Amino acid sequence: MQTTDLIDRLASDLRPTSQRAAWKRLTIALSAGSVVALGAAWLSLGLGNDFAAMLLTSSLWMKWAYALGVSAAALSLCVRLARPEGAPGALHFLLGVPLLMLGAIALIEVAGVPADERRALWLGRTAAMCPWTIAALAIPIFVAVLLALRKLAPTRRRLTGFSAGCLAGAAAAGLYAIHCHETAAAFVVTWYTAGILLPGLVGVLIGSRVLRW
């Protein structure tokens, strides 16, 4: 086909474009994936039967604040990287802010506990399954976000894959918190972070293949 014919065809196909389309697509994907993940959590882990009581605990809000902080940073990174010329810039460091804050709280907490109880505090009772459950819950969110990104124009695909994985992991961590009875900041900063980084690393590995356009 002649290039001028192609241009005529594209021009006749033109429809007005909404503003902030990347942001809209990604938040829709995030919400849709989260609903699926919430359903999966409900089926596999059961409804947190003491949910009302948990809402009054500070540990649930700590987990939610952490998950929300990482999600917000990862989402803004994804929105930025969805543009072809988008460079992460200082947004990189935004991902580390919630981690550093919770890490500081965890250090203070650990310092106030006798040395022989620290290990128990750090491992809790569910350290072995916590990261894996978060990563598993992240799968539907991860898939939805990656599908949305494929319609956009990421050019740094590994980094975009990492951001998408962290976003999915952080959202999944927020859902998992409803089913988690651990209370220590040291536990959350270690095992929740592992659950968030797991899909992030998968994103680095598959990003260049999955996000091609």
Partner 1 sequence: MSEVESRLKNLMLLSLGGDGMAYRELLLKLSGRLRAYYRKRLGKGCSDAEDLVQETLIAIHARRATFDRTQLFTPWAYAMARYKLVDYLRRSRVRASVSMDDCEEFFAMDETEQAAASRDVDSLLSRLPNAMGEAIRLTRIEGRSIDEAAQRTGRSAAATKVNIHRGLLRLARLRAAGALDADD
Please name the residues in contact with 22: beta carbons below 8 A apart, sequence gap of 6 or more: 79, 82, 83, 152
Please name the residues in contact with 138: beta carbons below 8 A apart, sequence gap of 6 or more: 37, 165, 168, 169, 171, 172, 195, 196, 198, 199
Inter-axis angle of helices 193-210 and 157-176, to 10 degrees?
150
- Which one of 10, 43, 56, 115 is in contact with partner 1 (CB under 8 A)? 10
- C-alpha angle with apex 46: 45 to 47, nearest 5 degrees? 125
Tell the smallest beta-carbon distance from residue 193 to partner 1 (Å). Answer: 30
* CB nearer partner 1, residue 83 or residue 181: 83
User: Which positions from 75 to 114 touch partner 1 by CB under 8 A, shown as an x/- string?
Assistant: -------xxxx-----------------------------
3 makes contact with partner 1 (CB under 8 A): yes
Strands (E), 122-211: none
Q: Tell me, what DSSP letter sits at residue 115? A: G
**Lookup result for tokens 């927020």:** 174
* Rounded Cα gap, residues 141 and 30, in angstroms: 6
4 makes contact with partner 1 (CB under 8 A): yes
- Which one of 153, 194, 201, 206 is in contact with partner 1 (CB under 8 A)? 153
* CB nearer partner 1, residue 8 or residue 50: 8
- Which one of 92, 125, 151, 181 is in contact with partner 1 (CB under 8 A)? 151
Q: Are 161 and 77 in contact, with CB atoms under 8 Å apart?
A: no
* CB nearer partner 1, residue 1 or residue 56: 1
Question: Tokens in use for 38?
Answer: 């919430």
Range in contact with partner 1 (rule: CB under 8 A) among 3-11, 107-115, 117-125, 186-194: 3-11
- Which one of 51, 93, 132, 213 is in contact with partner 1 (CB under 8 A)? 213
Which residue from 151, 150, 168, 169 is spatially nearest to 207, judged by alpha carbons?
150
Residues in binding contact with partner 1, number by CB under 8 A: 28
Question: Binding to partner 1 (CB under 8 A): which residues in 21-60?
Answer: 21-22
- Which one of 34, 40, 100, 152 is in contact with partner 1 (CB under 8 A)? 152
Binding site for partner 1 (CB under 8 A): 1, 3-4, 6-8, 10-19, 21-22, 82-85, 151-153, 155, 212-213
